[in-house]
A and B are shown apart, each in its own frame.
Chain A
Amino acid sequence: MTHLGYLLVGWGFTIGCGVLYSLHLVRRGRTLAARVPPTRRRWLSADER
């Protein structure tokens, strides 16, 4: 396979960013959810919708 180095860096960077961002979101969500009272953790109940 030609250009394997470029392909590995490009694909690796893309998938790596996706994985890291996903982990960041999940961890940030868990941390925040622990700080908010359970009765206020429902996401889809805004007045103005």
Chain B
Amino acid sequence: MTQPIAPQAADQGSADAPASTGSRATMGLGLVVLVGVVAVVLLGFFGAPEDDQQRDAVRMIFVHVPSALLTYVAFATTALGSVMWLWKRSVWWDIVAHSAAEIGVMFCGLTLVTGSIWGRPTWNTYWDWGDVRLVTTLILFLIMVGYLSVRSMGDDDATATRASIIGLIAAVNLPIVNRSVEWWFDRTLHQKSSLTDGNLEDLTLFTLVLGIVVWGLFFTWAMIHRFRIGWLERELRSGDLHEAIAARRAEALIDGHFQSGASS
């Protein structure tokens, strides 16, 4: 049986209740992200040197790789939340899983789009259906779109359980996507890990790491807001449920009153 989220204790006043999902901490974090994005743009376009082979097209690395890494982080978080839901029936983790899935789908979509745009000048094609990295990433994206579709079909525990299973299936695909360039190196145009191959110039590597950190902070900021939205949605539903139960009880009391009046 799922434990409901506890209504707030009555002794905590409403004066300091937040009127949004933001707080001083999230505002500060958001400002850090904004400054970080500006820094990544400046370094990415004007600081980092061009590549000998790809020329300036290599600057796509600063948006593509962080998006891909955060896709892994987001969907791994969804998998963890799914396990905790299935194991402990934890509503808190269920909201975390749903929140990370939504943000992860955005990151995964960005990975596909930026990779495709980067592929045109470097591989001379936007897409190759025979490329294992591209196709496994697309499958991951579609699985998680399916996750969100299932989520949109209902708010009950059974829906959360179905979505959790889909989240775990997607998690199985994560190492396949990540390792595909190693396992099927003859069936992909995609290069191996940019971070670990040691071929990046110092400033390029610094900008890439900075981009990953900034994207990570944005993920944290978005997770906090999205979690609170999920929380509010549950509170709203449970409030509606309580109102419906109270109304039904009132009707039953009135019915009982009239029936007892009629019998006397």
Contacts and interface: CB of A to CB of B under 8 A. Distances in A.
Do A and B make up one complex?
Answer: yes
A20 to B, nearest CB: 10
B57 A21 contact: no
Chain A contact-residue range equals: 35 or more
B21 A36 contact: no
Interface in A1-49: 1-4, 6-7, 9-11, 13-15, 17-18, 21-22, 25-26, 28-30, 32-43, 45-49
Chain B contact-residue range equals: 35 or more
B131 interface: no
Given A2-B57, A26-B225, A17 B18 contact: no
Contacts of B121: 3, 6
Q: Which secondary structure dominates where chain A touches chain B?
A: helix
Contacts of B228: 29, 43
Given A2-B56, A39-B14, A45-B6, A29 B90 contact: no
Interface of B: 3-8, 10, 12, 14-15, 17-22, 30, 37, 41, 44-45, 50, 55-57, 59-60, 63-64, 67, 88-92, 103, 106, 109-110, 113-114, 117-118, 120-121, 218, 221-222, 225-229, 231-233, 235-236, 239
Interface of A: 1-4, 6-7, 9-11, 13-15, 17-18, 21-22, 25-26, 28-30, 32-43, 45-49
